Amino acid sequence: MRAAVFKGADRPWAIETLPDPEPGVGEAVIKVGRCGICGTDLNMTSGNGYDFPCGSVLGHEFCGEVVALGQDTHSLKVGDIVTAMPAAGCGHCDMCRIGMQVMCATPTHYMGGFGEYMRIAERASVKLPSALSLLDGALVEPLAVGLHGVSLARLKPNARVLVLGGGTVGLTATFWARRLGAGRLVTASRSKRRESLVLAMGADAFVTLGEGEGERIAEALGGPPDYVFEAIGVVGALQQAVNLVKPNGEVISLGFCMAPDPVIPGIATFKQVKLTFSMAWTLEEFQTAVDLLDRGDVEARAMVSNTIPLEALPGMIETLRGPHNETKVQVDPWS
């Protein structure tokens, strides 16, 4: 099979021919139909000390058709269109018992969406209804990321909610905040071109970040935010969120910054801010995202700005590291 292979932080990714994967016990092999490019694919291949191993085939926002089954598989059949969590747990440890398989003491990781075929764990998979497309299936993982973060906040009725960031994570946080009880909802970004997407996801207003942002955000919300979802992921974003949230408010970080990001504890303490970090998703959240898409809440489709062939992926990775006009780019390995 063909796959895009990470060759190291200072080298371009390469399209190589690799052996086709074989399913193990409890596993299936899928023919990848779509796979989204995530900020994590950039952050963890940039030479910052937390990189994926050289030689890895990445891609964790995937969906595809089941083409082979391993032993002890029971719920899937060849021909099913599925998506899956890119990590499966043991099912017995403390983290698995609360649904956080990605934090399992002994997880098995399943990435490889930037190839023509990949293995998945049956126990981590979700079938796609016939009404949903491959594009939809590759949006389930980022939608589940947003759902997990917003769910952690347990929004109070009529809460004033601010989402910082208009990228994919900020957009999915906006999407779920609207559906999980936000009263007044504002999303803020430095990029004015995100405004139409932000409003399509359910925000009441868009604010451009910059000078006087605190006053303009409070005006749009009718007061300072009770909750701030930090979805920027750059140094300074956490302190920005602490500065903006109201006293006794909550900051939920989904930004996944990979560099030290100092927060002034005295300011957070003086305001008695609750700071929560959100990681990944549960299988239940994957299913919830699928169910919502299936019932017709398909606004997230508007996030997909480009679909590219596998051969274009190395160049697109470099494009996304600099200034660009993309939102969510999906890869079609067969186009």
To which residue do tokens 């003086």 refer?
A: 270
| pLDDT on residue 90 | 94
| 152 token code pair | 């952690």
User: Residue 50 — pLDDT band, cuts 50, 70, 90?
Assistant: confident
User: Residue 248 — pLDDT band, cuts 50, 70, 90?
Assistant: very high
Both 261 and 232 in one domain: the answer is yes
- Residues 136-165 have a mean pLDDT of 98
- Residues 13-33 have a mean pLDDT of 98
Mean pLDDT, rounded, of the chain: 97
In a domain, 249, yes or no: yes
How many domains does the structure of the chain reveal?
2
3-state secondary structure of 57: coil
| pLDDT of 73 above 90 | yes
Pick from 181, 180, 206: which is nearest to 292 by CA?
Answer: 180
Beta-carbon neighbour count of residue 304 at 10 Å? 19
Both 313 and 253 in one domain: the answer is no
In a domain, 282, yes or no: no
Both 121 and 149 in one domain: the answer is no
Both 76 and 191 in one domain: the answer is no
Whole-number Cα distances in Å, 256 to 89, 113, 284? 22, 21, 22
CATH of residue 55's domain is 3.90.180.10
In a domain, 136, yes or no: no
Both 13 and 106 in one domain: the answer is yes
User: Residue 51 — pLDDT band, cuts 50, 70, 90?
Assistant: confident
The domain in which residue 196 lies consists of: 145-277
How many angstroms separate the CA atoms of 150 and 153, rounded? 5
| pLDDT on residue 175 | 99
Both 153 and 208 in one domain: the answer is yes
CATH of residue 191's domain is 3.40.50.720
In a domain, 133, yes or no: no
In tens, the pLDDT along 264-309 reads: 999 999 999 999 999 999 999 999 999 999 999 999 999 999 999 9
H or E element at residue 316: helix 313-320
In a domain, 138, yes or no: no
How many angstroms separate the CA atoms of 82 and 113, rounded? 13
Name the region of 79 (left: φ>0; alpha: ψ -120 to 50; beta: rest): left
Both 121 and 155 in one domain: the answer is no
In tens, the pLDDT along 92-134 reads: 999 999 999 999 999 999 999 999 999 999 999 999 999 999 9
Both 152 and 269 in one domain: the answer is yes
| 174 token code pair | 């906006």
